[in-house]
Structure 1
Amino acid sequence: MIFWIKALHIFFVISWLAGIFYLPRLFVYHAAAEHQAVKDQFKIMERRLWFFVTPFAILTAIFGIALIYIYGLAWFKISTWLHVKLALLLAIYGYHIYLYKLMKQFEYDNNVHSTKFYRFLNEAPVLLLLAIVILAVVKPF
Protein backbone atom coordinates (compact mmCIF):
# COMPACT_ATOMS: atom_id res chain seq x y z
CA MET A 1 0.00 0.00 0.00
CA ILE A 2 2.74 2.48 0.89
CA PHE A 3 4.35 2.06 -2.55
CA TRP A 4 1.07 3.02 -4.23
CA ILE A 5 0.79 6.11 -2.08
CA LYS A 6 4.41 7.06 -2.82
CA ALA A 7 3.87 6.49 -6.54
CA LEU A 8 0.76 8.66 -6.58
CA HIS A 9 2.50 11.35 -4.51
CA ILE A 10 5.41 11.47 -6.97
CA PHE A 11 3.06 11.46 -9.98
CA PHE A 12 1.06 14.41 -8.65
CA VAL A 13 4.21 16.33 -7.71
CA ILE A 14 5.54 15.94 -11.26
CA SER A 15 2.21 16.87 -12.85
CA TRP A 16 1.75 19.89 -10.59
CA LEU A 17 5.24 21.26 -11.05
CA ALA A 18 5.17 20.75 -14.81
CA GLY A 19 2.15 23.02 -14.90
CA ILE A 20 3.44 25.72 -12.61
CA PHE A 21 6.77 25.76 -14.42
CA TYR A 22 4.93 26.34 -17.69
CA LEU A 23 2.57 29.04 -16.43
CA PRO A 24 5.26 31.75 -16.05
CA ARG A 25 6.42 30.87 -19.57
CA LEU A 26 2.92 31.76 -20.75
CA PHE A 27 3.28 34.99 -18.78
CA VAL A 28 6.48 35.78 -20.73
CA TYR A 29 4.61 35.49 -24.01
CA HIS A 30 1.55 37.29 -22.63
CA ALA A 31 3.65 40.23 -21.43
CA ALA A 32 5.23 40.48 -24.87
CA ALA A 33 1.92 40.31 -26.75
CA GLU A 34 0.82 43.50 -28.45
CA HIS A 35 -2.64 42.65 -29.78
CA GLN A 36 -5.63 42.33 -27.49
CA ALA A 37 -6.88 39.17 -29.25
CA VAL A 38 -3.57 37.45 -28.50
CA LYS A 39 -3.67 38.66 -24.90
CA ASP A 40 -7.21 37.33 -24.53
CA GLN A 41 -6.10 33.93 -25.83
CA PHE A 42 -3.28 33.84 -23.25
CA LYS A 43 -5.79 34.68 -20.51
CA ILE A 44 -7.78 31.57 -21.43
CA MET A 45 -4.68 29.37 -21.58
CA GLU A 46 -3.35 30.65 -18.24
CA ARG A 47 -6.64 30.22 -16.44
CA ARG A 48 -7.17 26.71 -17.79
CA LEU A 49 -3.63 25.66 -16.89
CA TRP A 50 -3.82 27.07 -13.36
CA PHE A 51 -7.15 25.38 -12.66
CA PHE A 52 -5.93 22.15 -14.27
CA VAL A 53 -2.83 21.85 -12.07
CA THR A 54 -4.29 23.13 -8.80
CA PRO A 55 -5.99 19.78 -8.04
CA PHE A 56 -2.57 18.17 -8.50
CA ALA A 57 -1.19 20.49 -5.80
CA ILE A 58 -3.99 19.39 -3.49
CA LEU A 59 -3.45 15.70 -4.26
CA THR A 60 0.29 16.12 -3.73
CA ALA A 61 -0.45 17.36 -0.22
CA ILE A 62 -3.02 14.63 0.49
CA PHE A 63 -0.69 11.80 -0.50
CA GLY A 64 2.27 13.45 1.26
CA ILE A 65 0.28 13.74 4.47
CA ALA A 66 -0.82 10.13 4.05
CA LEU A 67 2.82 9.06 3.85
CA ILE A 68 3.67 10.98 7.01
CA TYR A 69 0.70 9.38 8.74
CA ILE A 70 1.73 5.88 7.66
CA TYR A 71 5.33 6.34 8.78
CA GLY A 72 4.13 7.68 12.11
CA LEU A 73 4.66 10.53 14.50
CA ALA A 74 7.90 9.14 15.95
CA TRP A 75 9.45 8.99 12.47
CA PHE A 76 8.17 12.48 11.68
CA LYS A 77 9.71 13.93 14.84
CA ILE A 78 13.22 12.63 14.06
CA SER A 79 13.16 13.35 10.31
CA THR A 80 14.84 16.75 10.27
CA TRP A 81 15.33 16.50 6.51
CA LEU A 82 11.55 16.25 6.16
CA HIS A 83 10.98 19.41 8.21
CA VAL A 84 13.31 21.33 5.88
CA LYS A 85 11.64 19.75 2.85
CA LEU A 86 8.21 20.81 4.11
CA ALA A 87 9.41 24.38 4.62
CA LEU A 88 10.67 24.46 1.02
CA LEU A 89 7.43 22.90 -0.11
CA LEU A 90 5.49 25.68 1.58
CA ALA A 91 7.53 28.10 -0.51
CA ILE A 92 6.41 26.27 -3.66
CA TYR A 93 2.78 26.45 -2.54
CA GLY A 94 3.33 30.17 -1.96
CA TYR A 95 4.76 30.40 -5.48
CA HIS A 96 1.64 28.65 -6.79
CA ILE A 97 -0.59 31.19 -5.06
CA TYR A 98 1.57 34.06 -6.31
CA LEU A 99 1.13 32.78 -9.87
CA TYR A 100 -2.62 33.01 -9.32
CA LYS A 101 -2.24 36.66 -8.26
CA LEU A 102 -0.21 37.40 -11.40
CA MET A 103 -2.74 35.56 -13.55
CA LYS A 104 -5.49 37.79 -12.13
CA GLN A 105 -3.42 40.88 -12.95
CA PHE A 106 -3.16 39.70 -16.55
CA GLU A 107 -6.87 38.92 -16.57
CA TYR A 108 -7.65 42.58 -15.82
CA ASP A 109 -4.86 43.83 -18.13
CA ASN A 110 -2.93 45.15 -15.12
CA ASN A 111 0.43 43.50 -15.75
CA VAL A 112 3.24 45.59 -14.27
CA HIS A 113 6.20 43.26 -14.94
CA SER A 114 8.55 42.79 -17.86
CA THR A 115 9.19 39.62 -19.83
CA LYS A 116 12.58 39.45 -18.08
CA PHE A 117 10.82 39.27 -14.69
CA TYR A 118 8.68 36.37 -15.87
CA ARG A 119 11.69 34.56 -17.31
CA PHE A 120 13.38 34.76 -13.91
CA LEU A 121 10.15 33.73 -12.19
CA ASN A 122 9.99 30.73 -14.50
CA GLU A 123 13.47 29.51 -13.60
CA ALA A 124 13.83 30.38 -9.91
CA PRO A 125 11.75 27.54 -8.38
CA VAL A 126 13.91 24.93 -10.07
CA LEU A 127 16.44 25.44 -7.28
CA LEU A 128 13.75 24.75 -4.69
CA LEU A 129 12.82 21.58 -6.52
CA LEU A 130 16.46 20.47 -6.63
CA ALA A 131 16.79 20.99 -2.88
CA ILE A 132 13.56 19.09 -2.22
CA VAL A 133 14.65 16.13 -4.33
CA ILE A 134 18.04 16.01 -2.61
CA LEU A 135 16.38 16.11 0.81
CA ALA A 136 13.89 13.37 -0.11
CA VAL A 137 16.46 11.04 -1.69
CA VAL A 138 19.70 11.69 0.23
CA LYS A 139 18.15 12.60 3.61
CA PRO A 140 21.34 14.43 4.64
CA PHE A 141 20.23 14.99 8.24
Structure 2
Amino acid sequence: MQHEISPLMSTLFPYIKAFHILFVASWFAGLFYIPRIFVNLAEETNPAATERLIGMAQRLYRFSGILMIPAIVLGMILWIYYGIGRGPGSGWMHAKLALIVFLIGYHHSLAIILTKFKEGRNQRSHVWYRWFNEIPVVVFAIIAILVVGKFF
Protein backbone atom coordinates (compact mmCIF):
# COMPACT_ATOMS: atom_id res chain seq x y z
CA MET A 1 0.00 0.00 0.00
CA GLN A 2 1.42 3.36 -0.98
CA HIS A 3 1.34 6.24 1.43
CA GLU A 4 0.47 9.84 0.69
CA ILE A 5 3.38 11.63 -0.98
CA SER A 6 3.92 15.24 0.02
CA PRO A 7 3.88 17.88 -2.74
CA LEU A 8 7.60 18.53 -2.16
CA MET A 9 8.50 14.85 -2.56
CA SER A 10 6.21 14.62 -5.56
CA THR A 11 8.16 17.50 -7.11
CA LEU A 12 11.49 15.86 -6.26
CA PHE A 13 10.53 12.46 -7.67
CA PRO A 14 11.66 13.08 -11.29
CA TYR A 15 14.99 14.48 -10.07
CA ILE A 16 15.60 11.55 -7.73
CA LYS A 17 14.79 9.15 -10.56
CA ALA A 18 17.01 11.02 -13.04
CA PHE A 19 19.97 11.12 -10.66
CA HIS A 20 19.46 7.44 -9.84
CA ILE A 21 19.72 6.64 -13.56
CA LEU A 22 22.80 8.88 -13.96
CA PHE A 23 24.63 7.30 -11.01
CA VAL A 24 23.72 3.78 -12.15
CA ALA A 25 25.04 4.52 -15.64
CA SER A 26 28.24 5.97 -14.18
CA TRP A 27 28.74 2.98 -11.87
CA PHE A 28 28.22 0.63 -14.82
CA ALA A 29 30.86 2.49 -16.81
CA GLY A 30 33.36 1.26 -14.21
CA LEU A 31 31.87 -2.24 -14.19
CA PHE A 32 32.26 -2.36 -17.98
CA TYR A 33 35.76 -0.88 -18.18
CA ILE A 34 37.69 -2.30 -15.20
CA PRO A 35 37.50 -5.90 -16.50
CA ARG A 36 38.63 -4.59 -19.89
CA ILE A 37 41.74 -3.22 -18.16
CA PHE A 38 42.19 -6.73 -16.70
CA VAL A 39 42.19 -8.13 -20.25
CA ASN A 40 45.05 -5.77 -21.10
CA LEU A 41 46.87 -6.58 -17.86
CA ALA A 42 46.65 -10.32 -18.54
CA GLU A 43 48.32 -9.77 -21.93
CA GLU A 44 50.87 -7.16 -20.83
CA THR A 45 54.56 -8.06 -20.43
CA ASN A 46 56.04 -4.57 -20.05
CA PRO A 47 56.39 -3.73 -16.30
CA ALA A 48 55.91 0.02 -16.88
CA ALA A 49 52.71 -0.57 -18.85
CA THR A 50 51.51 -3.01 -16.20
CA GLU A 51 52.07 -0.40 -13.49
CA ARG A 52 50.17 2.21 -15.52
CA LEU A 53 47.22 -0.15 -16.11
CA ILE A 54 47.07 -1.12 -12.43
CA GLY A 55 46.98 2.58 -11.52
CA MET A 56 44.17 3.17 -13.99
CA ALA A 57 42.19 0.23 -12.61
CA GLN A 58 42.71 1.36 -9.00
CA ARG A 59 41.48 4.89 -9.69
CA LEU A 60 38.51 3.67 -11.70
CA TYR A 61 37.58 1.09 -9.05
CA ARG A 62 37.69 3.73 -6.30
CA PHE A 63 35.65 6.23 -8.34
CA SER A 64 33.06 3.69 -9.49
CA GLY A 65 32.68 2.51 -5.88
CA ILE A 66 31.90 6.07 -4.87
CA LEU A 67 29.30 6.31 -7.66
CA MET A 68 27.73 3.01 -6.61
CA ILE A 69 26.69 4.46 -3.23
CA PRO A 70 24.35 7.23 -4.43
CA ALA A 71 22.99 4.89 -7.12
CA ILE A 72 21.94 2.44 -4.42
CA VAL A 73 20.73 5.09 -1.96
CA LEU A 74 18.59 6.85 -4.58
CA GLY A 75 17.23 3.49 -5.72
CA MET A 76 16.29 2.68 -2.13
CA ILE A 77 14.51 6.05 -1.82
CA LEU A 78 12.51 5.28 -4.96
CA TRP A 79 11.70 1.80 -3.70
CA ILE A 80 10.88 2.59 -0.07
CA TYR A 81 9.43 6.09 -0.14
CA TYR A 82 7.60 6.02 -3.46
CA GLY A 83 6.67 2.35 -3.29
CA ILE A 84 8.00 1.58 -6.76
CA GLY A 85 7.99 -2.15 -7.30
CA ARG A 86 6.03 -2.97 -4.15
CA GLY A 87 2.75 -4.80 -3.92
CA PRO A 88 1.16 -7.26 -6.33
CA GLY A 89 2.94 -7.71 -9.64
CA SER A 90 6.33 -6.67 -8.30
CA GLY A 91 8.24 -9.89 -8.95
CA TRP A 92 10.35 -7.96 -11.45
CA MET A 93 11.62 -5.76 -8.58
CA HIS A 94 12.65 -8.80 -6.53
CA ALA A 95 14.57 -10.12 -9.53
CA LYS A 96 16.16 -6.69 -10.06
CA LEU A 97 17.19 -6.44 -6.40
CA ALA A 98 18.75 -9.92 -6.55
CA LEU A 99 20.74 -8.85 -9.61
CA ILE A 100 21.86 -5.66 -7.84
CA VAL A 101 23.13 -7.72 -4.90
CA PHE A 102 24.98 -9.88 -7.43
CA LEU A 103 26.48 -6.74 -9.06
CA ILE A 104 27.66 -5.43 -5.70
CA GLY A 105 29.45 -8.76 -5.23
CA TYR A 106 30.84 -8.52 -8.78
CA HIS A 107 32.09 -5.00 -8.00
CA HIS A 108 33.89 -6.27 -4.91
CA SER A 109 35.35 -9.19 -6.86
CA LEU A 110 37.08 -6.59 -9.04
CA ALA A 111 39.05 -5.45 -5.98
CA ILE A 112 40.16 -9.02 -5.28
CA ILE A 113 41.30 -9.49 -8.87
CA LEU A 114 43.06 -6.12 -8.85
CA THR A 115 44.95 -7.12 -5.71
CA LYS A 116 46.11 -10.30 -7.44
CA PHE A 117 47.41 -8.25 -10.37
CA LYS A 118 49.19 -5.83 -8.00
CA GLU A 119 50.85 -8.74 -6.21
CA GLY A 120 51.76 -10.51 -9.47
CA ARG A 121 49.52 -13.49 -8.63
CA ASN A 122 47.13 -13.46 -11.59
CA GLN A 123 46.56 -16.99 -12.88
CA ARG A 124 43.88 -16.28 -15.47
CA SER A 125 44.22 -15.62 -19.20
CA HIS A 126 43.04 -12.63 -21.18
CA VAL A 127 40.36 -14.88 -22.69
CA TRP A 128 38.90 -15.55 -19.23
CA TYR A 129 38.79 -11.81 -18.55
CA ARG A 130 37.09 -11.19 -21.89
CA TRP A 131 34.24 -13.48 -20.78
CA PHE A 132 34.27 -12.02 -17.26
CA ASN A 133 33.91 -8.59 -18.88
CA GLU A 134 30.57 -9.61 -20.43
CA ILE A 135 28.85 -10.37 -17.10
CA PRO A 136 27.80 -6.78 -16.26
CA VAL A 137 26.61 -6.26 -19.86
CA VAL A 138 24.28 -9.25 -19.63
CA VAL A 139 23.06 -8.27 -16.15
CA PHE A 140 22.47 -4.67 -17.28
CA ALA A 141 20.38 -5.91 -20.22
CA ILE A 142 18.30 -8.16 -17.96
CA ILE A 143 17.71 -5.34 -15.46
CA ALA A 144 16.69 -2.94 -18.25
CA ILE A 145 14.19 -5.50 -19.59
CA LEU A 146 12.82 -6.14 -16.10
CA VAL A 147 12.37 -2.44 -15.31
CA VAL A 148 10.83 -1.47 -18.63
CA GLY A 149 8.68 -4.57 -19.09
CA LYS A 150 7.60 -5.29 -15.48
CA PHE A 151 6.47 -8.67 -16.83
CA PHE A 152 5.76 -10.31 -13.47
- 1:138 is matched with 149
- 2:42 is matched with 31
Residue 76 of structure 1 aligns to a residue whose secondary structure is coil
Q: 1:112 aligns with which of 99, 103, 123?
A: 123
- State the 1:5 CA deviation: 0.6
- 1:76 is matched with 86
TM value normalised by structure 1: 0.94
Distance 1:41 1:130 in 2: 31
Residue 120 of structure 2 aligns to a residue whose secondary structure is coil
Structure having the higher Rg: 2
Say whether 1:123 aligns with 2:138.
no
Distance 2:135 2:76 in 1: 26
TM value normalised by structure 2: 0.88
- 1:57 is matched with 68
State, as a whole percentage, how many aligned pairs show the same letter. Answer: 39
Larger fraction in helix: 1
- 2:6 is matched with none
Q: Which runs of 5+ in 1 are unaligned?
A: none
Distance 2:83 2:139 in 1: 26
Matches within 5 A, 1:2-17: 2-17=13-28
Say whether 1:66 aligns with 2:82.
no
Q: Deviations over 1:45-65 (max 9, x none)?
A: 110000011111111110000
Bigger Cα displacement from structure 2, 85-94 vs 75-84: 75-84
Distance 2:74 2:137 in 1: 22
Query: 2:36·2:133 contact (CA, 8 Å) conserved in 1?
Result: yes
- State the 1:20 CA deviation: 1.2
Matches within 5 A, 1:35-46: 35-46=46-57
Q: Which runs of 5+ in 2 are unaligned?
A: 1-11
Query: 2:31·2:136 contact (CA, 8 Å) conserved in 1?
Result: no
Distance 1:24 1:47 in 2: 12
- State the 1:121 CA deviation: 0.7
Structure 2 counterpart of 1:110, one-letter code: R
